[in-house]
Chain A
Amino acid sequence: DAGVIQSPRHEVTEMGQEVTLRCKPISGHDYLFWYRQTMMRGLELLIYFNNNVPIDDSGMPEDRFSAKMPNASFSTLKIQPSEPRDSAVYFCASSLGGMGEAFFGQGTRLTVV
């Protein structure tokens, strides 16, 4: 398996624009997690899904953030409108069963100017 695949790897956008980050989990994994990494706050869990259903979105910072998982092989994290403080590296991870090892993607480095 190619592992967790995220796109794009880098994204630079202007404040106020919509940003969509994409993730393809490892085939067969039933849990998908979205994390945000910043120097100040480290790795924070934003939301996670089980069998395509959102289970816990308590980490989503604001209504500007939304996530979807329309099928088992694809998820998106959308920020609308984006703000400079959203600049961070966003990681997607997947696991088989909630107790299994979480495999991380390469991340998307988002810069909002």
Chain B
Amino acid sequence: GENVEQHPSTLSVQEGDSAVIKCTYSDSASNYFPWYKQELGKGPQLIIDIRSNVGEKKDQRIAVTLNKTAKHFSLHITETQPEDSAVYFCAARIQGAQKLVFGQGTRLTINP
């Protein structure tokens, strides 16, 4: 089955700097890659996603890149703000399947 590895497990950056979180997946049949943000005491919330027919997607300060050949995708957050502090999860979904396989999560801390 699909396996998703996520790095780093913790990340601390200064406010205003950029943060990058990386994930790799194992099944080349995966074609959907969402990123979720989980704040303390809440459920994961989708912040951006990308499908395998595109290489990059942006939404304001957030961008995701996908390299299908290498089977890895990354989340980029620019101009970080204190409210970006949270746990971020990447996930992958195999084409034709409905279930998401999640990475282990990255705890991002933005230092003022």
Residues of chain A touching chain B, judged by Cβ–Cβ distance below 8 Å, are 4, 31, 33, 42-43, 45, 48, 50, 55-56, 91, 93, 95, 98-99, 101-107
Residues of chain B touching chain A, judged by Cβ–Cβ distance below 8 Å, are 32, 34, 36, 41-46, 49, 89, 93, 97-105
Could you show 21 A-B contacts with beta carbons less than 8 Å apart? A31-B98, A33-B99, A42-B102, A42-B103, A42-B104, A43-B44, A43-B102, A45-B100, A48-B99, A50-B98, A56-B99, A93-B43, A95-B98, A98-B97, A99-B32, A101-B49, A104-B43, A104-B44, A106-B42, A107-B42, A107-B43
Q: List residues of chain A with CB within 8 A of the CB of B103.
A: 42
Return A83 CB to nearest CB of chain B, in Å: 24
Q: List residues of chain A with CB within 8 A of the CB of B93.
A: 99
Q: List residues of chain B with CB within 8 A of the CB of A43.
A: 44, 89, 102, 105
Interface of A is mostly: strand
With the chains together, A98 CA to B105 CA distance in Å?
Answer: 23
Please name the residue on chain A nearest to B36 by beta carbon.
A104
Please name the residue on chain B nearest to A44 by beta carbon.
B102
With the chains together, A93 CA to B46 CA distance in Å?
Answer: 12
Return B21 CB to nearest CB of chain A, in Å: 14
Contact in complex: B98, A4 (CB < 8 Å)? no
Contact in complex: B41, A98 (CB < 8 Å)? no
With the chains together, A79 CA to B46 CA distance in Å?
Answer: 29
- Sorted nearest first, the 4 A-B pairs with minimum C-beta distance are A98-B98, A104-B43, A43-B102, A42-B104
Contact in complex: A91, B102 (CB < 8 Å)? no
Contact in complex: B43, A106 (CB < 8 Å)? yes
Q: List residues of chain B with CB within 8 A of the CB of A56.
A: 98-99
Contact in complex: B34, A101 (CB < 8 Å)? yes
